[in-house]
Amino acid sequence: ILLLNTNKTKELIVDFRKKNSHIHSPIYINRRMVERITSFKFLGIHLSEDLSWQINTTSLIKKAHQHLFFLRLLRKNHLSSAILINFYRCTVESILTSCISVWYGNCTIKEKKALQRVVKTAQRIIGIPLPAIVDIQRKRCLRKAHSIVKDPFHPAHKLFTLLPSGRRFRCLQSKTSRLGNSF
């Protein structure tokens, strides 16, 4: 028997209709109202009701800054740049780029600059050029697209259709910039 714990059950509504005349009625489970929230952390990503990534990027930047302190300590103790780069990639970069192919395309310019600022700070600490966040995101998206194209059983395989020339893929048609930026 599956029983839902209403204390742990939350409701997040994503509604982009122009008219706000439609009011969402609350959900009740066992005569208890389910709590309605505006943002939720799921698998390490903060989702918000307006599908903006401000909460997510703010928390990632805050976490990355905490690890930059340890990078400074390693630099202060005169460790080699190879060790510093290894520490940066394992901690700071992995924090900043977790699920980056999901959220980075729809970040605002301000959020992208804030993320890149963390990389520049780490670059100054280490003293060696580091890859930009946008390059990492582009590389990961291309790698994912190649794996989807190679796997005919992937659910998204049909989204990648070749043009008649056979060299390039057809662009997805989108009516909104939110969908267009997602790919």
Q: Is 102 exposed, middle or buried (0-12, 13-18, 19+ CB in 10 A)?
A: middle
Return the half-sphere exposure (C-beta side, CA atoms, 13 A cut-off) of residue 172. Answer: 15
**Distance between start and end Cα atoms, the chain:** 40
pLDDT tens-place values along the chain, 183 residues long: 777 888 888 998 888 777 766 678 888 888 888 888 999 999 989 999 888 999 999 999 999 999 999 999 999 999 999 999 999 999 999 999 999 998 998 899 999 999 999 999 999 999 999 999 999 999 999 999 999 999 999 998 888 888 888 888 887 777 777 776 666
The reported pLDDT for the residue numbered 134 is: 95
How far is it, in rounded angstroms, from Cα 29 to Cα 27?
7
Neighbours of 1 (CB within 10 A): 2
Which position has the token pair 């963390």?
118
Distance, C-alpha 77 to centroid of its chain: 33
Report DSSP letters for 40-90, one per residue: EEETTEEEETT---HHHHHHHHHHHHHHHHHHHHHHHTT--HHHHHHHHII
If you search the block for the tokens 């582009």, which residue do you land on? 138
pLDDT the model gives residue 3: 79
The predicted pLDDT at position 4 comes to: 81
Residue-level pLDDT at 22: 67
**Prediction pTM value:** 0.82
Please name the residues in contact with 77: beta carbons below 8 A apart, sequence gap of 6 or more.
none
Could you tell me the residue ranges of all domains in the chain? 6-47, 52-139
Predicted local distance difference test score (pLDDT) of residue 114: 97
